[in-house]
Structure 1
Amino acid sequence: MRVTRRWIVVTGAAAAAGLMLALPQHTSNAQSGKLQVVATTGMIADAARRIGGDAVEVTALMGSGVDPHSYRQTRTDIVAMTRADVVLWHGLYLEAQMEEFLLKLRKRQLVVPVADALPRDRLLAHEDYQDRFDPHVWMDPDLWSGVVPVVRDALAEARPENRAVFEANAASVLRDFAEVSAYAKGVLGSVPAEKRILLTAHDAFNYFGRAYGYEVLGIQGISTESEAGLNRIEDLVDLIVERDVGAIFVESSVSDRNIRALIEGAAARGHKVVVGGELFSDAMGADGTYEGSYVGMIDHNATTIARALGGSPPARGMRGQLGQGTRS
């Protein structure tokens, strides 16, 4: 019998649902009295930690270098989510392999898809799925700011007595998002207009391109599950040569195989193109690093892109400009 991928996904989802039903009904197991929060991605976890402050303990399921498009929940993840006071997930079909489980879990405890609350008129269509949207909304800090009140209200629903603290912390987060947005607009605007071509491993930067006026090209589609065909590679090599593209970018959570193919293809045509740096697309940097915070991630990406494409960012990005150390 031929085992199809769909059969595997459905069977896995059914097994997860069975395990969920076998577990006891949700009870908070926090010995510290802190609100137990599980977030699927690092970007959501960062917002929850900052908004919740000392009142929360946040677990992120997907760490640095993890691709959320193909991620499937483990038994450990299921136990953590069923025991949490609040589960925060992205939505917009980002966690495609987890969606069925999360929707079922939502019927029995506080489970919130934070990006689903964003205005539909500000979302970009998904190229692969009808009636779906491009989920990479965190690439535009002004748009990503819309998840802050959603996270704040979810935490306040679970812990009403801490609402004032959550509101104050959320206001601070929004100020920092506005600050990094303004910084990105400035440094990315220093790149000559004809050089504002951002070529990466997959289409994670469309919101970035819209926000900062860049032409964005991905070898793969919006989902890393899509494949880049030989024709796509050849077309992009043609573009690199014809438009004198000098730098392309790898992503921390996506294989660089196709990027290397572009570099080799351009070299065969007598054109040199280099890797302009590694960008954080579907996951942030390592825990405890500046790039492991949302502000640090956006600062890093904007600074790296501007420097590689001929702009004039500060030597250490916004962090160096403001002397803010590793503040998130």
Structure 2
Amino acid sequence: MRPKKRLAEFLRIGLFALALIGLVFLSACGEKGGSQKSADVRSDRDPSSKVRVTTTTTMITDLVQQIGGEFVEVTGLMGPGVDPHLYKATQGDMNKLKEADVIFYNGLNLEGKMGDIFVRMSRQKPTFAVSEYIPEDQLREPEEFEGHYDPHIWFDVRLWKKAAERVRDGLCEVDPAHCEAYRANTERYLKELDELDAYIRARIAEIPEGQRVLVTAHDAFGYFGRAYGVEVRGLQGISTDTEYGLKDIQELVDFIVERKIKAIFVESSVPRRFIEAVVEGARRRGHEVKIGGELYSDALGEPGTPAGTYIGMFRYNVDTIVEALK
């Protein structure tokens, strides 16, 4: 072979080898996806700084604070009394999501109007649904919810423990330097949740079985009813985005009168007038039913109040229900 031909052949082989190496590298990067994003976040962060976390609902904000402790700085998009079903992200919210090291949201279509946002964010940074560790066979799938799962998982303490584990692992992925602290915080919090679960069961047992009926503005308490042996009825469906009409009010009034329900409940994130219409309808039928109190459904109470944490909110709800029904 002539020298020029040998050189050309050598160059062709070399270029082919470089191209092959490049393809292997790109393939490896593609397979690692989320891990690569987490690695990018870790490399950009100052290890001594707090992890910047953006959350959606107040329940998730509290959960991340419990697990992350001193090593996280949590920014919640939704405050007390905010309905996540109807929430629309503002430009300020988008900035908070972009500035975060990691994002936690509920999933299961709870933040219905923000679904596309989380898909886009997941391509840029670690973005986790706290519901993703819950096996499908433990999720409720009401017929009226068009094939979707009930997103109100926090009303079964055992499911919320799974959410805590998802937060723990997400923080460990983004900030492995403090993973042991996140694990220790999670173990402590899981024990507190076990104590909460026992408290709920003991209090519900105070209500005579025939009176364990919870009527609220929308069907947010399905997991609660299933877990703790309470029959649940809501004026609206799983999402407050669904419409209700006179027929829905009449059917609920019929149920209340027939079962002689003595107390029904308003919700902090749903207009009070929904339930007041039911109370008035029952009164016209000659049955007096009172509003037994305000329950927290899709949001916690104000920070610093007894209902300002997940555990405090749940205890407050259960105490309110028991005192009105027993």
Q: TM-score range by the shorter chain?
A: 0.7 to 0.9
Q: How does 1:265-276 map to 2 (within 5 A)?
A: 265-276=281-292
Q: Does 1:172 align with 2:188?
A: yes
Rounded Cα–Cα distance in structure 2 between residues aligned with 1:306 and 1:192: 10
What SS class does the counterpart of residue 132 from structure 2 fall into?
helix
Residue in 1 that maps onto 2:37: none
Rounded Cα–Cα distance in structure 1 between residues aligned with 2:69 and 2:179: 12
The 8 Å contact of residues 145 and 238 in structure 2, kept in 1 or not, is answered as: no
Q: Deviations over 1:77-123 (max 9, x none)?
A: 11111110110011001011000011111011011011122110000
Q: Deviations over 1:107-146 (max 9, x none)?
A: 1101101112211000001444443200001001111111
Rounded Cα–Cα distance in structure 1 between residues aligned with 2:258 and 2:173: 55
Which residue identity does 1:263 align to in structure 2? Answer: V
Residue in 2 that maps onto 1:6: none
Residue in 2 that maps onto 1:136: 152
2:319 to 303, 310, 316: 303
Residue in 2 that maps onto 1:9: none
The 8 Å contact of residues 199 and 217 in structure 1, kept in 2 or not, is answered as: yes
The 8 Å contact of residues 36 and 58 in structure 1, kept in 2 or not, is answered as: yes
Q: How many residues align?
A: 286
Computed over aligned residues only, the root mean square deviation of the Cα atoms, in angstroms, reads 1.7
The 8 Å contact of residues 268 and 297 in structure 2, kept in 1 or not, is answered as: yes
Moved over 3 A (4+): 25-32, 126-131
Q: 1:171 to 1:232 in 2, by over 3 A?
A: same
Residue in 1 that maps onto 2:122: 106
The 8 Å contact of residues 28 and 84 in structure 1, kept in 2 or not, is answered as: no
Rounded Cα–Cα distance in structure 2 between residues aligned with 1:212 and 1:235: 25
Residue in 1 that maps onto 2:91: 75
Q: How does 1:1-328 map to 2 (within 5 A)?
A: 33-310=49-326
Q: CA shift at 1:176, angstroms?
A: 0.8
Rounded Cα–Cα distance in structure 1 between residues aligned with 2:48 and 2:74: 13
Rounded Cα–Cα distance in structure 1 between residues aligned with 2:270 and 2:143: 19
The 8 Å contact of residues 265 and 292 in structure 2, kept in 1 or not, is answered as: yes
The 8 Å contact of residues 93 and 135 in structure 1, kept in 2 or not, is answered as: yes
Rounded Cα–Cα distance in structure 2 between residues aligned with 1:54 and 1:184: 29
Q: CA shift at 1:72, angstroms?
A: 1.0
Rounded Cα–Cα distance in structure 2 between residues aligned with 1:258 and 1:297: 22
What SS class does the counterpart of residue 124 from structure 2 fall into?
coil
The 8 Å contact of residues 47 and 177 in structure 2, kept in 1 or not, is answered as: no
Q: 1:273 to 1:28 in 2, by over 3 A?
A: farther
Q: 1:70 to 1:128 in 2, by over 3 A?
A: farther
Which residue identity does 1:252 align to in structure 2? Answer: S
The 8 Å contact of residues 145 and 237 in structure 2, kept in 1 or not, is answered as: no
The 8 Å contact of residues 28 and 83 in structure 1, kept in 2 or not, is answered as: no
Q: CA shift at 1:217, angstroms?
A: 0.2
- Segment drifting more, 121-130 vs 288-297: 121-130
The two structures have a TM-score, normalised by structure 2, of 0.85
The 8 Å contact of residues 219 and 238 in structure 2, kept in 1 or not, is answered as: yes
- Work out the percentage of aligned pairs sharing the same amino acid: 45
Rounded Cα–Cα distance in structure 1 between residues aligned with 2:252 and 2:307: 29
Q: Deviations over 1:28-86 (max 9, x none)?
A: 78898111001111111111111111000101111100000010111111111111011
What SS class does the counterpart of residue 141 from structure 2 fall into?
coil
Rounded Cα–Cα distance in structure 1 between residues aligned with 2:170 and 2:132: 14
Which protein is bigger by CA-based radius of gyration?
A: 2
The 8 Å contact of residues 157 and 197 in structure 2, kept in 1 or not, is answered as: yes
The 8 Å contact of residues 127 and 222 in structure 1, kept in 2 or not, is answered as: no
What SS class does the counterpart of residue 128 from structure 2 fall into?
strand
Rounded Cα–Cα distance in structure 2 between residues aligned with 1:192 and 1:144: 27
Rounded Cα–Cα distance in structure 1 between residues aligned with 2:62 and 2:206: 29
The 8 Å contact of residues 189 and 212 in structure 1, kept in 2 or not, is answered as: no
Rounded Cα–Cα distance in structure 1 between residues aligned with 2:285 and 2:44: 61
